[in-house]
Structure 1
Amino acid sequence: MAGKRNPWGKPPGGSGGGNDDGGSGGDGGDDAPAGGNDAPPPRGPRNPWLPGGGSAGGGSDRGRRSANIEDIFKNRGPEGPRRRGGGGPGGPNFRIPQRPGGGSWFPLAIAAIIGVWVLATSIHFIQPREQATVTWLGGKYSRTLNPGTEWTFPWPIQSVSVENVSEIRRETIGDGAENLILTGDQNLVDLSYLVRWNIKDLVLYEFQLADPQETLRESAESAMRAAIAETDLDTVLSGAGREQVETRVRERMQTLLDSYGAGIAVQGVEIARTEAPQQVIEAFNDVLAARQDAERNLNEARRYEQQLLASAQGSAAEFNEIYSQYRLAPEVTRRRLYYETMERVLRDTDKTIVEADGVTPYLPLPEVRRRSQEAQGPSLTVSGQQGGQ
C-alpha cells in the first residue's frame, strides 16, 4: 500500500507524521501539527467529502462528521468536480459574449426584434378582391384599406381586419333537419333552401350588427315563411311556383337587411327540397297520386270535349253549306239528299231496288252473278255465297 493514497487516512498503527501521500512527517497535511512525528494519533477515518481535505487530525471544527448536501454540491459546476470554484458556460459566472468594441449585444438584439415587429404589423398587402378595416387599439374605426400595399401604425396601436368582399358565400337552411312551414292552404311542407350572398359594405358588415350571419339566417327564415304562407301547396311543389317564391324571398330579404344596415347583398335564393313531413309522408303520397289521377282524367275529358266540339262545329258548318244550296235549288237539293242518304244506308246490302215503271221490282242480281261464275268453269272459286229474296 506504500505510495498509494488512502481516502480514509492512515490506518490505525501506521507511522505518524505522514501526509496523505504516505510521505514523511515534515510534509504533513494541513491538519498535521508542525512537529511531524509528535502529531497526536488520528481520531478516526478521514471523510473525503469534507472541504479542505477533511482530515481527522484537524481542529474541533474539522472533526469527524457526515457530509451534507451543501458540502457535496458546494462550488461544483454542472460538469462535475473539475468546475469547482470556476466559471464557464452555465456556471455561476456565465456572461453574455461581448462585441468587438466591448459593448453588449443585448440592445442590438432588442432593437432588431422591435424593427421586425414594426415592419410585420405595419405593412399590409391587400389582394384585388379584398378590403380591410383599420381600428384604433382594436375598437374605434379609422379607415378602409383598398387593394394594394398599405401602411398603418403597428399592432396594437392599429389593428387590421381583412375580408373578401367579392366572394359569393352560401348559407344553407333546413339541410339535414326538419324545417316545417305552413302553406297558404293550411298544409305543412318540409323545405330546405340555399341563400347566396356577399359583402356589400364592409364597414356596415363589421360594425353595424353584432352577428351579421345570424341576422342573415333569421331574415331568410322570416322571408321564406311569409312567402310560403301566401302560396298553396301545389304551387310550392311545382317548378314555376318555386321560381316565384324564390324571387319574393330574395326581394324581402334584401329590403329587411337594408333596413338593418347589414351591409349584405343577397344574390339569390334556391329551394333545394320540398316534401311532406315524415309523419304523414305516406298519406301525402297517396293524396298526390289521387290528385295526379284526377288531373289525368280531367285532361282526357277535356280532350274528348274538344273532339266533340270540333265534330259538332264541322257538322254545323256542313249543314249551313247545304242549307245555302237548298235555298238556291230546293228540289234538286232535296233529291240529292235523298239519294245520298239511301246510298249510305243501302251500300252494305246485297239487294238492289229499282223504282221505275215497267221494271220488275226485284232482280236477284247476286244470284244471277253467282250462277254465271259457276257456269264459267271449275277454275273459278267463289269466296262466299250471297242470296236474297
Structure 2
Amino acid sequence: MKNKFKENVTDGVKDISSYWKIILIVFVVVIVAFRSVYFISEQKNGVVTQFGKVVRVDTAGMHFKAPWQSLQTVDITTHGTGIGYYIDDDSQDFASDEDGIMITSDFNLLNIDFYMEYKVSDPVAYLYNSEAPEEILENIALANIRTVVSNYTVDEAMTTAKGLIEQEVKEDMVKSLQDTNIGLSVQNITIQDSEPPTEDIIAAFKAVETAKQGADTAKNNALQYQNEQIPKAEAKADKIVQNATASKEARIAEATGEASKFNKMYEQYSMYPEITKKRMFFEKVEEILPNTRVIITDGQSKIILNDGTTAKNSAISDEVEGE
C-alpha cells in the first residue's frame, strides 16, 4: 500500500515537472518571437545591428531578426528649425537670439532669421557618425549663412538679394553636409525676416525701403507713359511720312503735267513762233485782267476791236494771212 502511494506521488511529480517544462518552453518561444518580429512604420527606418555591427536597414513593413540582434528606429520625415530665432515657451511668440545678427559686406549689422527644413538621408550615418547631428547641422547652417550674407550689402540682404542668399546658402550646405556625412540633408532654407538690430536703424531702413518702392513706382509709371507715347509718336510719324509721300507724288505729277504742257507749247512755238508769242501774250492778258474791257489796236487798222478775244483772233488771223 505504501509502495503504491509512493509510486503515485512520484508519477504526479513527474507530470508537474513536465508541465512546467512545457510552460517554460512556450514562454521562451514567445519571448524569442516577440524580440524577433517587429514592424516599421512609413515615417521611420529600422537599423539592425549584431554585436555592434550594422547588419541592414529596414523600411516600412514587418521584419524578423535574431534575438541577439538589436534594433534602432530613425524618423525619416522632414523636420524644421529656426536659425536666428526661437519660440518663447511662455508667450509662444518668436524671439530673436544673438545667432541672427550678421555683418554685411558694407560693415553693417543685420538681424536676419532663417527657417530650415531637413531630414535624415542616411540612418546609419545619423546614428553612428556623430553624437549630436542636429547640433552639427545648425552650426553648419550658421557658418554658411554668415559667409553668404557677408558677400552682400545690408540693403541687398533686406530687399532684392533674399532669393540669391537662400539659394547660395542651400548649395553651400549641401556641399558641407556631404563632406561631414552626418546622415542629414537640407530640404529647404528660407529667410523669415531681416531688419537692423536697433529701433532707430529699423526706422531709417524702413524709410529707405519706402523711398525705393516709390522710386520703383515712378519708374513703372514712366515706363507705362513711354509705352503709351511711343506708339502715338510712331503713328504720327507714319502719318507725316504718308502725307509727305502723297505730296511728293502730287508735285511730281503736277511737274510732269507742266513739263508735258511746256513741251507741247514748245512744239507749237517751233512751228509758228510769232503766232505762239502773240497767243501767249493774249492768254496772259486774259489771265491777269479777266473782268476788264480791253481795246487793242495796232495803230494802223481802221477797225477798233472791243475786247481782247476779238483782237487776239484778229491778230492771229492777220498773222496767218501775212505769212
TM-score of the pair, normalised by structure 2: 0.56
- 1:311 deviates by 5.0
Partner in structure 2 of residue 132 of structure 1 = 46
Residues 269 and 330 of structure 1, relative CA distance in 2, 3 Å threshold: same
Q: What residue number does 2:75 align with?
A: 164
Tell me the residue number matched to 1:101.
13
What is the match of residue 77 of structure 1?
A: none
**SS of the counterpart of 1:258?**
helix
2:195 match: 275
Q: Which residue of 2 aligns with 1:256?
A: 176
State the Cα distance separating 1:192 from its structure 2 match. 1.8
Alignment map for 1:81-120 (pairs within 5 Å): 101=13, 118-120=32-34
Structure-to-structure mapping, 1:293-372, within 5 angstroms: 293-305=214-226, 309-310=230-231, 312-330=233-251
1:151: how far off? 3.9
**Pair 1:128–1:299, CA change in 2 (3 A):** closer
Structure 1 residues 128 and 296, CA, compared in 2 at 3 Å: closer, same or farther?
Answer: closer
CA distance in 2, matches of 1:299, 1:147: 55
Higher RCO, Cα 8 Å, sep 6+: 2
User: 1:65 matched to which residue of 2?
Assistant: none
Match of 2:166 in 1: 246
Partners in 2 of 1:159 and 1:251 — Cα distance?
A: 37
Cα deviation digits, residues 75-134 of structure 1 (max 9, x gap): xxxxxxxxxxxxxxxxxxxxxxxxx73989xx9799888776655444433234432223
Displacement of 1:304 after TM fit? Answer: 4.6
Counterparts of 1:303 and 1:111, CA distance in 2 = 89
Cα–Cα, structure 1 residues 290 and 111, in superposed 2: closer, same or farther, change >3 Å?
same
Structure 1: how far apart are the matches of 2:140 and 2:253?
83
Q: Pick closer, same or farther for the CA change 1:186–1:300 going to 2, 3 Å.
A: farther
d(CA) in 2 for partners of 1:193 and 1:129? 26
1:186, 1:312 → 2: CA distance? Answer: 49
Give the Cα separation in 1 of the matches to 2:56 and 2:223. Answer: 69
Moved more, 199-208 or 183-192: 183-192
TM-score when normalising by structure 1: 0.48
Which amino acid counterpart does residue 321 of structure 1 have in structure 2?
Q
1:3 is matched with: none
1:133 & 1:297 partners in 2: Cα distance?
A: 62
Instruction: Name structure 1 gaps, 5 residues minimum.
Output: 1-99, 334-356, 359-389
Matched, 1:143 2:48: no
Q: Separation in 1 of the partners of 2:61 and 2:102?
A: 47
1:160 maps to a residue whose letter is: L
- Could you tell me how far apart the structure 2 residues matched to 1:332 and 1:185 are? 72
Secondary structure in 2 matching 1:271:
strand
Aligned to 1:200, which of 106, 121, 129?
Answer: 121
Identity %: 24
Gaps of 5+ in 2: 1-11, 86-94, 255-289, 292-323
Q: Aligned in 2, Cα 1:332/1:292: closer, same or farther, shift over 3 Å? A: farther
1:291-344 deviation digits (Å, cap 9, x = unpaired): 2233333444444555555554444333323322332234999xxxxxxxxxxx
For residue 139 of structure 2, what is the aligned residue in structure 1?
218
**Offset, 1:162:** 1.0
Superimposed CA distance per residue, residues 5-29 of structure 1 (whole angstroms, 9 cap, x where no aligned partner): xxxxxxxxxxxxxxxxxxxxxxxxx
Deviations 1:17-61 (A, max 9, x none): xxxxxxxxxxxxxxxxxxxxxxxxxxxxxxxxxxxxxxxxxxxxx
For 1:182-203, what per-residue CA distance to the aligned partner results, in whole angstroms no more than 9, with x for missing partners? 4455554322222222222211
Say if 1:297 and 1:243 are closer, same or farther in 2 by CA, change over 3 A: closer
User: How many residues are treated as equivalent by the alignment?
Assistant: 231
SS in structure 2 of the partner of residue 101 of structure 1: helix
Q: Which amino acid aligns with 2:243?
A: I
